[in-house]
Structure 1
Amino acid sequence: MKIAVFGANGPTGRILTAQALDAGHVVTAVTRRPHEFPISAPGLSVVGADVYNFEDVSAVVEGSDAVLSTLGVPYSRQPITVYSVGTGNIIRAMGNHGVRRLVCVSSSATDTTAGPHGGFLFEKLLQPLVTKLLGKTLYEDMRRMESAVAASGLDWTIMRPSGLFETDSVTEYKMAVDYINGTFTSRADLADSMLRQLTSDEFVRKNVAVATFSQKPNLIQLLLREASSKKAAPDSVPVGKLS
């Protein structure tokens, strides 16, 4: 299958690209910094493109069988638009070129009423700190993205991980529609869950919670790292940029 991966040079995007190549897919890795992309392999094309530029996006989408998006930016108090505007351009390009399958990454934090993801400390202190203060503008834009995707008419799946962390390989993770009682998601598991959507229609036009249970990072260290991070991810887009 020919797939385009947006946000390919981010931490999840790199894992997703590698897994897709291992699975035999022909991959176009889309990044604003193609010279920094660390993977080189048969079946891989690395393309420099800006998701805010519709012509860039359209050129990548044309000829693809499916589009996977791991677009991301760090927390900021500035307005964030990369999720809604960037994904909006992807949706428009897919419609123009007749590409139906879209799988994109959002977050369990877009719907904190779906169910609990931790104990008292997490629910009453840490989660509100992240969703209502540190990540307020980010999650607002993720919700705009989710609404646009749901209204697109495409064969879409929105992946909602929680507390992303690193594992050496894919684990026996779990998925469920809308909600799963899990606090963390391995990036390797998230990438694998996205690829699984390309060969299954079980979760077409659904929000899918994905969580890792066999391994767990330290919650406090994970949140402190996220909160203190000032550096953008390798493939992040400047916050507040307008289309």
Structure 2
Amino acid sequence: MKIAVFGGTGRVGSALIQMAIEQGHTVQALVRNKEKAQEQIPEATHIKGDATNLSDISATIEGCDLVFSSLGTDKTTTLTESTPKIIQAMKEAGTTRIVTIGTAGILNSRYEEGKYRFQSSESKRTKTFAAEEHLKSYLELASSTLNWTVICPTYLPDGEEEGNIRYEVNYLPEDGKKISTQDTARFALEVLENNTFHHSRLGICY
């Protein structure tokens, strides 16, 4: 498979690219800094550009079978600016499958019906900007005609693969506390490879 990647120099994105290359896939990644990308993900084809620019997004998706995005918020609106343009570029390219990394905050609250986790007592965060941005992105995907999956890890420390990943559709598995960046990347790659969990949010943790 040829995978278009957005957020490829981030923690999850760079891990997924390395795993995908090891599995024999090819990767085309949109990057802001080619020098940094060459150090982090040398095996990928680098497209220098901006994730909020439609032509750069289109150039990254061109010729690819699948799209993966681990774009974050980082106190910016990059995620919500890029999502509708990724959707547009995918439609124009005839590419339908996308897997993204969200946040556990946009999963359904298990105990407060009608609320997302970040709106409920399940969330310990006092600031909601990042969750709100991820929610807008998810709702854009959900209203599109694409075949999307949003993977929603809880607390995401750096760390090696441990395996024994638990997941649940639309909810965070009970007592889920954390999951490493490496296991998150592995899970996302398997969802891409196996073409599973269509039109779903997936809460993942140990």
RMSD over equivalenced CA pairs, Å: 1.9
**172-181 or 157-166, larger mean C-alpha shift:** 172-181
Distance in 1 between residues matched to 2:28 and 2:195, nearest whole Å: 23
Cα-to-partner distance string for 1:156-178 (whole Å, 9 max, x where unaligned): 10101000012223522122211
* Unpaired runs of at least 5, structure 1: 117-122, 213-243
Counterpart AA for 1:106: G
Question: Does 1:57 find its partner at 2:25?
Answer: no
Counterpart AA for 2:41: I
Within the candidate set 188, 193, 197, 1:194 is matched to 188
Distance in 2 between residues matched to 1:60 and 1:202, nearest whole Å: 23
- Tell me the TM-score normalized by structure 1: 0.75
Question: Does 1:69 find its partner at 2:65?
Answer: no
Distance in 1 between residues matched to 2:90 and 2:2, nearest whole Å: 14
Question: Does 1:140 find its partner at 2:142?
Answer: no
Distance in 1 between residues matched to 2:108 and 2:197, nearest whole Å: 21
Q: Which residue of 1 aligns with 2:116?
A: none
What SS is found at the alignment partner of 2:30? strand
Question: Does 1:4 find its partner at 2:1?
Answer: no
Q: How far does residue 205 in structure 1 lie from its aligned partner after superposition?
A: 0.7
Any residues of structure 2 matched to 1:121-140 within 5 Å, and which? 127-128=123-124, 130=125, 132-133=126-127, 136-140=128-132
Structure 1 residue runs of 4 or more that deviate by more than 4 Å after TM superposition: none
- Tell me the TM-score normalized by structure 2: 0.87
* Unpaired runs of at least 5, structure 2: 113-119
Cα-to-partner distance string for 1:131-164 (whole Å, 9 max, x where unaligned): x42xx22211111100000111111101010000
Report the count of equivalent residues. Answer: 195
Contact 1:101 1:155 in 2 (8 A): yes
Q: Structure 1 residues 201 and 3 mapped into 2: Cα distance closer, same or farther (>3 Å)? A: closer
Counterpart AA for 2:94: G
Name the structure, 1 or 2, with higher relative contact order (CA <8 Å, separation 6+).
1
Q: Which residue of 2 aligns with 1:211?
A: 205
